[in-house]
Amino acid sequence: MKRPFPWNEEVEVSSESGESSSGSEMDISNGGNTKAAIDIAVSHIARDVLSEDLLIRRAAMYQDYMKQIPIPRYRGSIIPFTSWMGLGRSMKQLYGQPLHYLTNVLLKQWDQLRIDSEDEYKPIDDIIHPSKAEANIWLVEEVHRNTSSHLHIAKLWKEDPMHHAFVDSIFPKLEGLS
């Protein structure tokens, strides 16, 4: 079932009609219902704290999961690619592993750095040898998996409402876990 509007957007409710207000209605502007206004403000703060706490817990679970996935040891294939994100996508398919959120963001940034450069339309595998490029991504991936703070990830996720686009939905079978 689709919602008629997103839940996270504020909606103004107003009862503007041609009739005059009755004496039973309270006027917030003159302080008649300040407790209700405070309750609403507190509930917004509580909701924000709960959602931030939830985001931190999700980031901690994500980081713990990513630490458990071993970096592939045997990488003998040469993957042709034209962009960093394209190489990352091919690596995910070839090795059946996700790349860390931070690695995906970095690959996007590397692609954006090429805009308006003299080699913008030149395939990257003509500039950097594919083996070196892949090794570079795995090195960055190892750093992100093993050293990233879940609090930093949660902060980035909070700032980017589309963060889920950079969290891969590949779930390899983890060895040694039941």
pLDDT at 36: 60
pLDDT at 146: 96
d(CA 163, CA 167): 7
Closest by alpha carbon to 154, among 80, 58, 67, 89? 58
pLDDT at 28: 44
d(CA 143, CA 67): 10
Give pTM, 2 decimals.
0.68
pLDDT in tens, the chain (178 residues): 454 545 555 545 444 444 444 444 444 445 556 666 555 555 555 455 558 889 999 999 999 999 999 998 877 778 889 999 999 999 999 999 999 999 999 999 999 999 999 988 999 989 999 999 999 999 999 999 999 999 999 999 999 888 888 888 766 766 665 4
